[in-house]
Amino acid sequence: MKARKRGSRKHAKPDGQNYVFRLFVAGDESNSSQARGNLARLCEEHIKGRYKIETVDVLKDPSTAYENRVLVTPTLILLKPLPKVTVLGNLNDTKQVLAAFRLTLVEL
């Protein structure tokens, strides 16, 4: 019981936004749509209430993508907590994505 409380304090933040993601997509293209859906599902399942997702559509805003050195879509960048992590692709591989965001051991 105590351990669980400590664990929850470890990730709790006053503003409720421990994880900040920026997802670069290309409109409603197949991989982009999958990435959107997969990210929303993963966040709801593993860090519910503690995440924020900013979505950038490169078809409407290519300059932001270029400034962020995004080469392809979909690209997901974990901005917070640091260090920054970048994951490419449609995020279908749940285990890989969770591992990349250092969520595997804590949350699974």
* Nearer of residues 2 and 60 to other proteins, judged by Cβ: 60
Contact 38, 97 (CB under 8 A): yes
Q: Are 74 and 30 in contact (CB under 8 A)?
A: no
**62 is a contact residue toward other proteins (CB under 8 A):** yes
Binding-site residue total for other proteins (CB under 8 A)? 22
Hey, which residues between 19 and 38 contact other proteins (CB under 8 A)? 24, 26, 29-32
Strand order from edge to edge, sheet including 75-80: 51-57, 19-25, 75-80, 85-88
Residues that bind other proteins (CB under 8 A): 24, 26, 29-32, 58-59, 62, 65-66, 70-74, 86-90, 92
